[in-house]
């Protein structure tokens, strides 16, 4: 399948980039945080990123879902900074720690995309892009003119603004939101943002409207559609159940879902006993309950959901 952005053309991509840059300042409206700082003047928002995107790493990633990594890896670009404050952040060093970050111009970011294509990657996988949508769009016409032809994957926490998502309509091929938590109380405690569930529901509905259910090619690689992730967390089975029911009821049973079991105490969890209730790994019974409900609802599960459950069984 031909990447969607090629049908838009360079002129439309440039128009989208211009509209997105208006969101950066004089008051930043790129994400739901609405920091209202002038990022066009290189003033960082809560995300800790100013005028240009900051990248922590970029490489062919073999740890993603099979439909993304294929034989040669998913071309992941890990953006530094974040618009959430998840106390259990599984990528703490990249988002907020001391991992090296490089600030990239649009030309440099486009060059990274093309390097991943040259390395044989099956897609360009934008990880934590919610706060750098303008910078991504600014790089796209440059990359396309230089020969980019890979599907674009938008790998997000789902804490996105509709303004940004509408500018990505026809640009992104595969949306990959991680729907973290369902209730405002849990989101306030663990993400430091009570409005997260409301924003995530609205964002995911819009993503699904744009690209529909996930389409795989003859080699089993993702070409277009929504791939929804959910990290199963210790003691939060009700959150998981509500999210799965939302998927079945509002997105449909054709929605591709990956239930992930790799949660481990990270970030602020385990420090000074602040979050003891999630200071452990997920156990087999919790993962089994999530899988049983998914099967009962008739959801389309990624094979890794079951393989991770089997690993838990062997470990437990």
Q: Could you tell me which residues come within 8 angstroms of residue 101 by beta carbon, excluding any fewer than 6 positions away? A: 54, 55, 56, 80
- Report the C-alpha gap between 37 and 273 in whole angstroms: 35
- Residue 71 banded pLDDT, cuts 50, 70, 90: very high
Two tokens, residue 136: 């991504």
Q: Which of 205-214, 219-228, 305-314 has the lowest mean pLDDT?
A: 305-314
What is the sign, positive or negative, of the torsion defined by CA atoms of 87, 88, 91, 92?
A: positive
Q: Is 160 left (phi over 0), alpha (psi -120 to 50) or beta?
A: beta
- Report the C-alpha gap between 74 and 121 in whole angstroms: 5
**Which candidate, 214, 86, 76, 260, places its Cα nearest to that of 154?**
76
Q: Are 168 and 133 in contact (CB under 8 A)?
A: yes
- Whether a cis peptide bond, with omega within 30° of 0, leads into 26 is yes
Q: Could you tell me which residues come within 8 angstroms of residue 97 by beta carbon, excluding any fewer than 6 positions away? A: none
Q: Could you tell me which residues come within 8 angstroms of residue 37 by beta carbon, excluding any fewer than 6 positions away? A: 25, 27, 28, 43, 44, 45
Q: Which residue has the tokens 């938008």?
A: 154
Q: Which of 92-101, 130-139, 167-176, 249-258 has the lowest mean pLDDT?
A: 92-101
What angle, rounded to 10 degrees, do the helices at 133-145 and 4-22 form? 140
- Report the C-alpha gap between 39 and 21 in whole angstroms: 9
Residue 98 pLDDT: 60
Q: What is the pLDDT of residues 101-111, one digit of tens each?
A: 899 999 999 99
| Cβ atoms within 10 Å of 253's Cβ, excluding its own | 14
- Residue 36 banded pLDDT, cuts 50, 70, 90: confident
Give me the residues paired with residue 198 across strands.
none
Q: Supply the mean pLDDT for the chain.
A: 95
What are the residue ranges spanned by the domains of the chain? Answer: 4-315
Residue 21 pLDDT: 97
Two tokens, residue 168: 């990505």
Q: What is the pLDDT of residues 166-199, one digit of tens each?
A: 999 999 999 999 999 999 999 999 999 999 999 9
Work out the percent of the chain whose per-residue pLDDT is above 90: 89
Output the pTM of the full model. 0.96
What does each C-alpha distance from 96 to 55, 89, 187, 268, 306 come to in angstroms?
Answer: 12, 9, 19, 11, 31
Q: Is the pLDDT of residue 310 over 80?
A: no
- Report the C-alpha gap between 80 and 101 in whole angstroms: 7
Q: Is the pLDDT of residue 313 over 80?
A: no
Per-residue pLDDT averaged across 192-219, rounded?
Answer: 98
Domain 4-315 class? alpha beta
Two tokens, residue 29: 């409206």
Query: Three-state SS for 77?
Result: strand
Residue 270 pLDDT: 78
Q: What is the pLDDT of residues 252-266, one digit of tens each?
A: 999 999 999 999 998
Work out the percent of the chain whose per-residue pLDDT is above 70: 97
| Cβ atoms within 10 Å of 36's Cβ, excluding its own | 11
């Amino acid at each position: 399948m031909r990447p969607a952005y090629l049908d838009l053309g360079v002129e439309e991509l440039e128009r989208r980039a211009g509209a997105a840059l208006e969101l950066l300042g004089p008051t930043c409206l790129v994400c739901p945080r609405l920091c209202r700082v002038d990022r066009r003047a290189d003033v960082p928002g809560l995300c800790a990123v100013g005028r240009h995107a900051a990248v922590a790493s970029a490489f062919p990633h073999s740890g993603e879902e099979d439909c993304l990594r294929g034989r040669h890896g998913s071309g992941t670009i890990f953006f530094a900074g974040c618009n959430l404050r998840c106390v259990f952040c599984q990528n703490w060093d990249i988002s907020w720690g001391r991992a090296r970050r490089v600030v990239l111009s649009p030309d440099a970011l486009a060059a990274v995309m093309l390097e991943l294509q040259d390395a044989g990657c099956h897609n360009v996988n934008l990880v934590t892009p919610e706060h750098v949508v303008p910078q991504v769009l600014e790089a796209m016409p440059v990359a396309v003119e230089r020969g980019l032809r890979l599907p674009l994957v938008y790998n997000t926490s789902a804490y996105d603004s509709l303004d940004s998502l509408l500018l990505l309509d026809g640009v992104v091929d595969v949306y990959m939101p991680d729907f973290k938590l369902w209730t405002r109380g849990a989101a306030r405690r663990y993400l430091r943002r009570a409005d997260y569930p409301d924003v995530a529901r609205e964002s995911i509905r819009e993503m699904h409207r744009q690209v529909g259910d996930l389409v795989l090619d003859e080699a089993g690689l993702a070409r277009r559609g929504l791939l929804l992730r959910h990290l199963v967390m210790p003691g939060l089975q009700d959150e998981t159940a509500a999210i799965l029911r939302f998927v079945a009821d509002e997105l449909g049973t054709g929605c591709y879902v990956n239930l992930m079991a790799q949660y481990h105490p990270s970030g602020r969890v385990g420090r000074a006993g602040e979050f003891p209730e999630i200071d452990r790994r997920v156990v087999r019974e919790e993962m089994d309950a999530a899988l049983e409900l998914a099967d009962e609802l008739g959801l389309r599960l990624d094979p890794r959901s079951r393989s991770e459950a089997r690993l838990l069984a062997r470990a437990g």
